[in-house]
Amino acid sequence: MSVSRRTLLATLVAAPLAAALPLASAPAQARTAAQTVDVRGLGGVAVDSFNVRVLSVDLPTRTVQVERRGRQWRVTLPEEFGSLNALRRRDRLQINRVESALVSVDPAQRGARPDVAFSTARNDGMFGNLPARWVVRNVTVTARFTSFDAARGTVSYEGPEGARTVRVTDPAVVTALQRLKKGDMVRLSFTEATEFVLTPRN
C-alpha cells in the first residue's frame, strides 16, 4: 500500500475516533468554566469551581480535612467519588458546586464556632440539567452573620471557608435576616449540588 493511501486511511479512522472521545477526558476546570445549572427559584446559576489541598483523610466517615488560602474545614466525600484508599495528604481536589437559595436561618448555640455539616438529599427538581456524578446534599453552615443586601437578595457571612454569600428569596427568611445584627453567630441551611474531582499534584 502506498504511503499516501496509508495516510488517507489513518485520517479516516482517526477522525471519528477523536470525535467520539468523551469530554470527561478533558480537565474538569475546562468542563465547568462556563457551565451553569438551573436552580429552582434562581434560574441559571454559574458553577463555582475551586481547588483545595487535602490535609487528612478519615476513611470510616469519608471526612476529609482540606485547606485553601490558609482556611481549613471538613468536607464529606460522597460514595460517588469512589474509594478513598488512594487519597493522600497534599493531594488536590477540585470542588465544583452550585447552591440553592437560603432555606432557613437560626441563631447558633452560645459558644458555637464556624463549622459545616452535610446530609444526603434527593434532587426533587431543585437542580435541573445536573451533570453526571454530581450529588445533592443539605448543608448547614455555622457562621458569623455579616450583612443582608435586600436589593440584591443576598446574605453575607463568615464561615469555615471565609467570606461567602448565598441568595435569599423566601420572605420568611428575609424577615429573620432583618432581625440579625452584624457579628451574630447563626446556622444557615441550604441545598447544594457538588462534584469532587481528584487533580494532579503541582
Amino acid found at 72: Q
- pLDDT, tens digit (0-9, with 9 covering 90-100), for 127-150: 999 988 899 999 999 999 999 999
Give the helix ranges, DSSP H, for 79-155.
none
Burial class (CB in 10 A: 0-12, 13-18, 19+), 130: middle
Average pLDDT, the chain: 85
Q: Is residue 22 scored above 60 in pLDDT?
A: no
Where along the chain do its domains lie? Answer: 23-199
Q: Is the pLDDT of residue 153 over 80?
A: yes
Number of H helices, E strands in the chain: 3, 13
Which backbone phi and psi does 9 adopt, to 5 degrees? -65, -40
| pLDDT score of 131 | 85
**166: CB partners within 8 A, 6+ apart:** 99, 101, 102, 154, 155, 157, 188, 190
pLDDT at position 202 is 61
The half-sphere exposure of 38 on its side-chain side, counting CA atoms within 13 A, is 5
pTM reported for the whole predicted model = 0.79
> Given a cut of 80, is residue 23 above it in pLDDT?
no
Q: What is the H or E stretch that residue 33 is in?
A: none
Residue 133: predicted pLDDT: 86
Residue with cell 494532579: 200
Give residue for cell 428569596: 169
**Residues whose CB falls within 8 Å of the CB of residue 75, separated by 6 or more in sequence, listed in order:** 52, 63, 64, 66, 95, 116, 118, 196
